[in-house]
Amino acid sequence: MHPKHILLIKSHSMGIGDLLRSSAAWKVLKTRWPEAQLHLLMLSRHPGYPTEQLIREHHLLATATFVAVAARPDSREKRASTEIRSDVTQALRHVPIDLVIDCEPYGLRTTLLARWIARTWSAQTVGVGQFPTRGWWYDLVSPSTRAYVEKHHISEPMDYTERDFVALAALGLERHGTPIVLKESVDGVAWREAHFPVEVPIFRMALNIGCGTSDALPKRPALDHLVANMVALYQEMPFELQLSGASFERDINTQFATAFAQRLTELGLHCAVTDWAGQCSLSQLTGLLSACDLVISTDSGPYHMAVGLGIPTVCWFNFATPASYHRRTGVEMVIIPTETEFVDAVRASLGLA
């Protein structure tokens, strides 16, 4: 098999981390077939989601297409399959697809879509044999998720990055520890050079408190605890601080900056803090993160972006979340850490432990 145009079908969350996690599988595919072009087809309930542009710019993808499956954003009313197929045909009309990989182990929507695309483009299909009859729809079938977990001795819940490799097993492709990857975008480089034109000798750190949506609030650190840990870190290694976040996270950034400055003042110290909440697109955020020597984040999009960019990263968790961990050099996970644990994690991420 020597595919030239590989289509990967996904239908999952539009979160930055959920999509960026797939980049490890993209890297393995490109390593196996360097000349092949990868095309992502994402069935989305949230058309126009900010993540789309970031993923479209990903260096491993030739194209990324996002097709709405709901009649309206956040609606349970589904669009007709004929409408979805029309959108797919229009988006991929100039792409000579020869291999279709259905990355989803559950449901019939992606199964039927993969089969239709295969017939229309005369391509081969790959899918997950989650249950016996599901395998009938694909040319190449991987074992079920359960069989994959048992074979690879993976503890559950499965690491999100591992999920696409279940389907890739049908092609004999293994992860072998391949990490997620992301490159600073063109817009990111331009933004970084415009805002940080001269290298400075001081240590520059990014902090993403994030978790501003209602469903994510339980993942946000208690403000006083976060401030105490950051003060302890500043006493250990002074830094310049860059705050990131969405526009609706300005308030928490302001609260943090005020409390942080007050605590430092009481100690006779001062830290330069800049708040970029709502001022960067995700593409530009690659530039802000790349300008920093270290990123501290909650379990949110910038955490995964920093890891993909290869920046030393510490992720703050309020509870154990193994599926969200990135187990690679330069990345440390802490769960409601003490000040000592927090400082030690930062030192470990920087290779200073």
Q: What is the mean pLDDT of residues 139-160?
A: 92
Assess whether pLDDT exceeds 70 at residue 9.
Answer: yes
Q: Report helix, strand or coil for 74.
A: coil
Q: Quickly state the pLDDT bin for 74 (edges 50, 70, 90).
A: low
Q: CA-CA distance, 241 to 228, in Å (whole number)? A: 15
Superfamily of domain 5-171: Glycogen Phosphorylase B; (3.40.50.2000)
Phi, psi of 176 (to 5 degrees): 50, 40
Q: Is the dihedral of CA 303, 308, 313, 316 positive or negative?
A: positive
Residues of the chain with CATH 3.40.50.2000: 5-171, 186-349
Q: CA-CA distance, 213 to 36, in Å (whole number)? A: 38
- Tell me the CA distances in angstroms from 24 to 77, 143, 255, 321, 334, one per residue in order: 33, 20, 37, 20, 23
pLDDT score at 13: 82
Q: What is the mean pLDDT of residues 159-184?
A: 96
What's the whole-model pTM score? 0.94
Per-residue pLDDT of 235-268, as tens digits, reads: 999 999 999 999 999 999 999 999 999 999 999 9
pLDDT score at 199: 74
Q: What is the mean pLDDT of residues 30-34?
A: 97
Residue 80 burial (CB count, 10 A) = 9
Locate 60 and state its tokens. Answer: 């491993």
pLDDT score at 285: 98
Is 186-349 a domain of CATH 3.40.50.2000?
A: yes
Task: Find out whether 204 and 239 touch, Cβ atoms under 8 Å.
Answer: yes
Which residue matches tokens 């000798």?
201
Task: Find out whether 143 and 151 touch, Cβ atoms under 8 Å.
Answer: yes
Per-residue pLDDT of 98-135, as tens digits, reads: 999 999 998 889 999 999 999 999 999 999 999 989 98
pLDDT score at 12: 80
pLDDT score at 198: 79
Q: Quickly state the pLDDT bin for 70 (edges 50, 70, 90).
A: confident
- Tell me the CA distances in angstroms from 308 to 54, 222, 237, 330, 352, one per residue in order: 12, 27, 25, 11, 21
Assess whether pLDDT exceeds 80 at residue 327.
Answer: yes
Q: Quickly state the pLDDT bin for 332 (edges 50, 70, 90).
A: very high
Q: What is the mean pLDDT of residues 6-22?
A: 92
Q: Quickly state the pLDDT bin for 20 (edges 50, 70, 90).
A: very high
Q: Quickly state the pLDDT bin for 77 (edges 50, 70, 90).
A: confident
pLDDT score at 75: 63
Assess whether pLDDT exceeds 90 at residue 146.
Answer: yes
- Tell me the CA distances in angstroms from 38 to 31, 98, 272, 282, one per residue in order: 12, 11, 43, 22
Q: What is the mean pLDDT of residues 166-174?
A: 97
The residue among 254, 236, 258 whose CA lies nearest residue 350 is 236
Assess whether pLDDT exceeds 80 at residue 47.
Answer: no
Which residue matches tokens 């034109």?
197
pLDDT score at 73: 63
pLDDT score at 42: 95
Assess whether pLDDT exceeds 70 at residue 169.
Answer: yes
Q: What is the mean pLDDT of residues 22-42?
A: 97
Assess whether pLDDT exceeds 80 at residue 72.
Answer: no
Assess whether pLDDT exceeds 90 at residue 159.
Answer: no
Q: How far apart are the first and last CA of the chain?
A: 46
Mean pLDDT score of the chain, rounded to an integer? Answer: 94
Q: What share of the chain in percent tops pLDDT 70?
A: 98
pLDDT score at 215: 87
Q: What is the mean pLDDT of residues 208-229?
A: 94
pLDDT score at 15: 87
Q: CA-CA distance, 17 to 94, in Å (whole number)? A: 29
Query: What is the 8-class DSSP label of residue 161?
Result: G
- Tell me the CA distances in angstroms from 171 to 121, 242, 272, one per residue in order: 20, 43, 51
Task: Quote the strand ranges of the chain, DSSP E.
Answer: 5-10, 37-44, 63-68, 99-102, 124-128, 140-142, 204-208, 240-244, 273-275, 294-298, 313-317, 331-335
